Amino acid sequence: MYNGLKRIGSSTYGYISRRFYSTTGVNGEGQSQKPQETTHFGFQTVNKEEKESMVKGVFDSVSSNYDLMNDFMSMGIHRLWKDELIKTLNPVPGSHLLDVAGGTGDISFRFLDKIKQSKYYFPQINQDGSGQSSTSLPSSATVFDINQSMLDQGKKRGILNGYNDTTDPSIDWVHGSAEQLPFQSDTFNCYTISFGIRNCTNIEKVLQEAHRVLKKGGRFLCLEFSHVPNPLLKFAYDTYSFNVIPIMGQLVAGDRDSYQYLVESIRKFPTQDNFAKMIENAGFKQVTYKNLSFGVCSIHSGFKL
């Protein structure tokens, strides 16, 4: 038992304690007679309609410690990966970003900061002393997430980082699912999804929606945990992931299960090449990817042309 929680299954890497367990059970055990469409939730097989609420449970549980845990787990490296995503996007004034599964706003804050560093950004001090505005084309970042608790944490961070959504029209926080975006077609010129798509039930639907809301010429970028091709490095990475991260989750955030889910969900995500094909199938062109940290993460890119 962990944390008074029931263990309901085992994996290659040892027993899994399960707070977010499904009625389907590990590897489909206990399925009802009626055939139902299944998917994975980490190493568990769950009914498709259950996954979204289970993922919600994970992020409701981790939201208050999310940013701290990111720093602990990755030893701060997630910041470099996110910087690389924004460097790849290289936004200029006039860009409008939809940051899906945006969580606590890390990508959106970086996007808006980067625009302010652009040579096409012309700041000016407001006459009334209310701070700084710009005479360049307006830009915006919409942080979009299915978990209100993550968005609420992000809004608090935004105020500390100079992006207060009540006074600053450049940032917006919207609640909803990546599989059904509440935006008109051809609205944004940048779409990012960072460490989010892995958690979605219907990845194909997420990609189709990304393609729909982008304007022609718009860019899709996905930063996600991926697969380490080198067997030696993979062994070291797996050992760290399965033995250290859940324990860290327990010690730092008092939540082992959510971090066990995290490491399992990474292993279930398609390989870099297969994911690139899925992006192409959704209609994106010029699809490429680059590995970061030997394939621990990758950035996939595609354009709506």
Ligand X SMILES: C[S@@+](CC[C@H](N)C(=O)[O-])C[C@H]1O[C@@H](n2cnc3c(N)ncnc32)[C@H](O)[C@@H]1O
223: buried, middle or exposed (CB in 10 Å: 19+, 13-18, 0-12)?
A: buried
Candidates 26, 69, 86, 107: give the one binding ligand X (CB under 6 A).
107
Nearest distance in Å: CB 226, ligand X = 14
Point out which span in 100-108, 112-120, 228-236, 281-289 binds ligand X (CB under 6 A): 100-108
* Pairing of the two strands 188-194 and 214-225: parallel
- Which two three-digit tokens encode residue 212? 């729909």
Q: Pick between residue 17 and residue 192 the one whose CB is nearest to ligand X.
A: 192
Nearest distance in Å: CB 281, ligand X = 19
Q: Pick between residue 182 and residue 229 the one whose CB is nearest to ligand X.
A: 182
Residues 133-192 that bind ligand X (CB under 6 A): 145-147, 150, 177-179
Residue 194 is assigned to a ligand binding site: yes
Candidates 16, 39, 97, 103: give the one binding ligand X (CB under 6 A).
103
Residue 11 is assigned to a ligand binding site: no
Point out which span in 96-104, 181-189, 210-218, 270-278 binds ligand X (CB under 6 A): 96-104
Candidates 54, 73, 89, 101: give the one binding ligand X (CB under 6 A).
101
Longest dimension (CA), the chain: 70
Residue 61 is assigned to a ligand binding site: no
Nearest distance in Å: CB 190, ligand X = 14
Q: Pick between residue 200 and residue 207 the one whose CB is nearest to ligand X.
A: 200
130: buried, middle or exposed (CB in 10 Å: 19+, 13-18, 0-12)?
A: exposed
Point out which span in 101-109, 118-126, 158-166, 286-294 binds ligand X (CB under 6 A): 101-109
Residues 191-250 that bind ligand X (CB under 6 A): 194-196, 199-200
Nearest distance in Å: CB 182, ligand X = 11
Nearest distance in Å: CB 161, ligand X = 14
d(CA 175, CA 73): 27
Where residue 114 falls (left for φ over 0; alpha for ψ -120 to 50; beta otherwise) is alpha
Residues making contact with ligand X (CB under 6 A): 55, 59, 100-103, 106-107, 145-147, 150, 177-179, 194-196, 199-200
Annotated binding site: 104, 145, 194
Q: Which residues are annotated as a binding site for S-adenosyl-L-methionine?
A: 104, 145, 194
